[in-house]
Structure 1
Amino acid sequence: MNHWWHRFFLTPRELREMGVVGINMRNARFVLPNNPRRLYELVDNKIRTKALAEEKGISVPETYGIIGNPYDMSQLHKILGDRSTFVIKPARGSGGKGILVISGKEDGMFYKPSGTRLSLDEVKHHISNILAGLFSLGGRRDVALIEYRVTSAKILTDISFQGAPDIRVVMFHGYPVMVMLRASTRESDGRSNLHQGALGVGVDIATGRTIRAIHHGKPVTLHPDLKVRLTGVQLPEWDKILDNAVTCHEMTGLGYLGVDMMIDEDKGPLMIEVNARPGLAIQMANGVGLLKRLQPAAERAAKFKHESREAKIAFSKKHFAAKITEPDTASAS
């Protein structure tokens, strides 16, 4: 039988045997029983999440300003000042929607990583869409967060097209169970959203090295634009990344969550956001079903209710170390 990541259609039985978690199973068995609804506000609002992280000593991107009303909008030029790089995002956005990355400024025009030029009025129009709730969860009115644009560590920018890669760590009961790096492509316009054409790169929890990659669900070995190899890349400060992820579990109280981080060239790991409903493409990026890791983590948590963060990380490194290698037949798509 072919490996599951090589095929578009599989039987329910095959999926169960491989431990693949679907949306219904994720919601019924892992999200609803372990994530009390009252805690969602802690992670659905990026401003609150950043405040919590800072209280726990986790580094986050600096906030330049918050736009929540017409008066704030009139002060945008003061907030931006002479800054030529920054990120604008909805406080209640999800899935990378509404994030505007500005990588340069010249002659009064702002530049996106793709080279697209925007005027100040166009930037204001984007912020207006954020305030109207165009990108927010449930279409609720929102506020715009303007913050530091991460200067990603060079070892990671070498495998990402004009955008800073981010790292998603899926946690269960405080145990890191699966990790994926998301690298941008020309198609994704500097964003790390897989649905917009970014790459999903599986990471070995034991070592922090990349082990396999997918693009639009298909295995690849080379970046489609840069033609560089995507596997065998060592993520910097790996132990700190895992420690930060465990801290995010502790600060939110959520049992099942995804923690997104970036690695800045000078500042090191920065927490970007926490997600109470992390997506499932991470399974394809790693070539293994989540259930094969969620069940052992649940059993461990039930047996050792007050295990230290160091012990949790050690358990994950030992039991969830990569056991597969990238397919020899994979090629750049």
Structure 2
Amino acid sequence: MYGLFRTARRLREIGLIGIGERNASYVLRYNPRKFYPRVDDKLLTKQLAIAAGLPVPELYAVVREEHQIADLHDKLAPHDQFVVKPAHGSGGDGILVISGRRGDKYRRSNSLLMSRGEFEHHLSNGLSGLFSLGGQPDHLLIEYCVQFDPIFDQVSYRGVPDVRIIVFLGYPVMAMIRLPTRMSDGKANLHQGAIGVGIDIPTGLTRRGVWGTEIIREHPDTEHSIVGLQIPHWPELLQMAARCYELSGLGYVGVDFVLDRNLGPMILELNARPGLAIQIANGNGLGHRLAKVEALAEAGGLSTDPDERVDFSRRNFPTLG
């Protein structure tokens, strides 16, 4: 019993929040329902980002109807690599990464070949809502396949890492990078076996990582260190994340980025209900950081300038330990 009490006290000390507190105190309080479509529909998110002058992966095609699938083979002929995404997908379900071709077959990121029929079947399933939130009929985006920055060559397994930054009332409060593994089949999804690695807000340096329930310092597939990596374009990433407050209209939002070796940082998607494993990856809780921003709001000190908000975050939210 004493051990449980001590653990609970320690969790309070580091400001760890749970799903119930996240939902009641932040998601429901600060995220107006009318703005959810801005982040739940990846096509709308992309359009809003473009209108705001923020970079996103190039869109090659949108598939809304079954009869459009057969025409895609010719439309995509100029592109050896591309990504298929359900517009309302969740947790990485339904994302198909094509890394090349062999004859009339498509090569997936796991090196397996996919026939035209299998490709069309996957898209048909996506349109039917197999991968969407609530199982509702969906539309599909086909877009540029990111070529990840070479700094991640030794710490990613057959996939593109992404950076998540949680933004509260316009202030970046916590960040991590998600690294694909063999277990995650090359996807940057923690629930499927990717690694979450905490990022220090002031410096952009990676700290420790979490893989499932295990705290790690090396990538399990490559055995290279995941600690001490300098995330490229870090000040720019923070500034872009801060601007997503105005873009989304949501007070509590997760912003996901990819880092292309040629094109630099691009917004991948936004999330109105970002997960909490980011706290474990950082070894720090969100609670104290969120409270500091709320205190700023109560004092009337919130800034409308994204650069000022980033400066505040870099001064106030170092990753301890």
Whether 1:161 and 2:150 are equivalent positions in the alignment is no
Q: Given the alignment of the two structures, is residue 186 of structure 1 paired with residue 174 of structure 2, yes or no?
A: no
Separation of aligned partners in 2, 1:163 and 1:121: 24
Counterpart for residue 71 of structure 1 = 67
SS at match of 1:301: helix
Number of the residue aligned with 1:221: 217
Number of residue pairs matched by the alignment: 318
1:170 matched to 2:166? The reply is yes
The alpha-carbon deviation at position 18 of structure 1 amounts to 2.8
Whether the 8 Å contact between 2:284 and 2:319 is mirrored in structure 1 is: no
Q: Which runs of 5+ in 2 are unaligned?
A: none
The 8 Å contact of residues 283 and 320 in structure 2, kept in 1 or not, is answered as no
Q: Please identify runs of 4+ aligned residues in structure 1 that moved more than 2 A.
A: 7-18
TM-score, normalised on structure 2?
0.95
List per-residue Cα deviations over 1:205-257 (Å, max 9, x = no partner).
00111011111121111111111110111011111101110111111110000
Deviations 1:177-217 (A, max 9, x none): 00010010111111000111101010000011101111112
The Cα shift of 1:301 comes to 2.8
Question: Is residue 321 from structure 1 mapped to residue 290 from structure 2 by the alignment?
Answer: no
The corresponding residue for 1:288 is: 284
Q: Distance in 2 between matches of 1:11 and 1:170?
A: 25
> How many Å separate the matches in 2 of 1:224 and 1:201?
13
> How far apart in 1 are the matches of 2:91 and 2:5?
25
2:45 equivalent in structure 1? 49
Is this contact kept in 1: 2:66–2:127, CA < 8 A? no
Contact 1:66 1:72 (8 Å CA) reproduced:
no
1:97 pairs with 2:97 = no
State the percentage of identical aligned residues.
46
C-alpha distance in 1, partners of 2:257/2:4? 30
The one of 297, 305, 308 equivalent to 1:308 is 305
Name the amino acid aligned to 1:203: I
Contact conserved, 1:217 with 1:284, CA < 8 A, in 2?
Answer: no
Answer yes or no: is 1:265 the counterpart of 2:261.
yes
For residue 309 of structure 1, what is the amino acid of its counterpart?
P
In 1, Cα distance between equivalents of 2:116 and 2:97: 14
CA RMSD of aligned residues (A): 1.6
5+ long unaligned stretches in structure 1: 1-6, 325-333
* Cα pair distance change 1:212/1:38, threshold 3 Å: same
What one-letter code is carried by the residue in structure 2 that aligns with 1:318?
R
Aligned partner of 2:274 among 275, 278, 296: 278
2:56 is equivalent to residue 60 of structure 1 = yes
Q: TM-score, normalised by structure 1?
A: 0.92
Q: Does structure 2 retain, via aligned residues, the 8 Å contact 1:157–1:163? A: no
